[in-house]
């Protein structure tokens, strides 16, 4: 802790350094946080270290999180497409079933379905 403060505070006097160290010690004892996060000059270092330690919970690769994972985004986009396609097919089938019921009740004719298949 002290070495990190000395490295970042080289231009300060000895009294200023002692004051900073005492504040850090007091804050560390009260809040139980690491000294890096408490020192304003070391926040960028701690953020850099946090980014390096990030591991995606989906693909388990480092340096990104799940919300930024390109594999997860691609799979979610495919799921949305499948959902929209299946819901569209279901709506079409419901309309077809409704249409055939209406036709069946309104006419007394017999229908023949021809698939157009030719057998040789």
Structure tokens that stand for 89 in this block: 């097919």
**Rounded distance, CA 98 to CA 105, Å?**
11
Strand partners, 55: 62
Task: Check residue 97 and give its pLDDT.
Answer: 52
Q: Is the confidence at residue 84, as pLDDT, over 80? A: no
**Domain definitions of the chain by residue range:** 1-99
Q: What is the pLDDT of residues 47-70, one digit of tens each?
A: 555 555 788 888 888 888 888 888
pLDDT band at 16 (very low <50, low <70, confident <90, very high): confident
pLDDT value for 36: 47
pTM attached to this predicted model:
0.30
Banded model confidence at residue 14, pLDDT cuts 50, 70, 90: confident
Distance CA 72, CA 91 (A): 29
Query: Cα Rg for the chain, rounded, in angstroms?
Result: 34
Q: What is the pLDDT of residue 100?
A: 52
């Amino acid at each position: 802790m002290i070495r990190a403060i000395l490295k970042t505070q080289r231009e300060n006097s000895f009294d200023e350094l002692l004051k900073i160290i005492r504040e850090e010690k007091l804050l560390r004892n009260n809040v139980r946080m690491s000294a890096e996060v408490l020192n304003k000059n070391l926040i960028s270092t701690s953020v850099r270290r946090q980014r390096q330690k990030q591991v995606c919970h989906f693909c388990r690769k480092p340096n990104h999180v799940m919300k930024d994972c390109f594999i997860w985004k691609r799979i979610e986009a495919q799921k949305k497409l499948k959902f929209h396609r299946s819901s569209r097919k279901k709506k079409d089938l419901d309309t077809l079933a409704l249409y055939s019921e209406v036709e069946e009740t309104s006419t007394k004719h017999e229908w023949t379905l021809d698939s157009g298949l030719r057998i040789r």
